[in-house]
Amino acid sequence: MTKPKFVYVTYIRTTPEKVWAALTDQQTIAKYWFGITAECDWKPGSPWRLKFEDGRTADTGEILEAVPHKRLVIGNWQNQFKPELKAAGRARCTIELEVAEYYPGYGGKAVKLTITHEAEAEQGAPLIEAVSGGWPKILSNLKSLLETGDVAFDTQVA
């Protein structure tokens, strides 16, 4: 059996620098990630933690790779607030950014953002199922925020 995996691709009409800033700035993260913030210095080997507004820890992990404007890899990603997801084990999340011309030769450019979230073991299916429901909403919010200045979904999480 193969390890569970989720891949999502979106295109955002902005620059890699602005996407990177949104991925790594605590206040911006809270805007598109339903009030959740990330505690991290974004350097390889550093701990990474998602926190709810009330201070509870949502997820933990560590930065494996951080190449500004290009690639961010979070390893040992583990849910901390749902026992069944915590028991499912750890995962690795790779975020890749690249410039994509949407009308080659006409100058229109966007950023292709690819998320690959992979369980570290076969039993990680519940975790991958959970993130596959969350990432599309989070990334829709990110896209809307960067393109219009407002998010698509503004509901806070529990």
Instruction: Please write the tens of the pLDDT for every residue from 138-149.
Output: 999 999 999 999
DSSP letter at 33 equals: T
Q: Residue 38 is encoded by which pair of tokens?
A: 């990330």
Strand order in the sheet with 47-51: 5-12, 108-119, 91-103, 71-79, 57-67, 47-51, 37-39
Residues 6 or more apart whose Cβ sits within 8 Å of residue 154:
none
Q: For strands 47-51 and 71-79, give the pairing.
A: unpaired
Number of Cβ within 10 Å of residue 74's Cβ equals: 23
What pLDDT, on a 0 to 100 scale, did the predictor assign at position 46? Answer: 98
* Sole residue written with tokens 């991958």: 128
The parts of the chain modelled with pLDDT lower than 70 are: 1, 103-107, 155-158
Each as own residue / partner, the long-range contacts of residues 97-105 (CB below 8 Å, 24 or more positions apart, any chain) are: 97/16, 97/19, 97/20, 97/69, 97/70, 97/71, 98/16, 98/70, 99/16, 100/11, 102/11
> Which fold is adopted by the domain 5-148?
Alpha-D-Glucose-1,6-Bisphosphate; Chain A, domain 4 (3.30.530)
| Residue-level pLDDT at 104 | 67
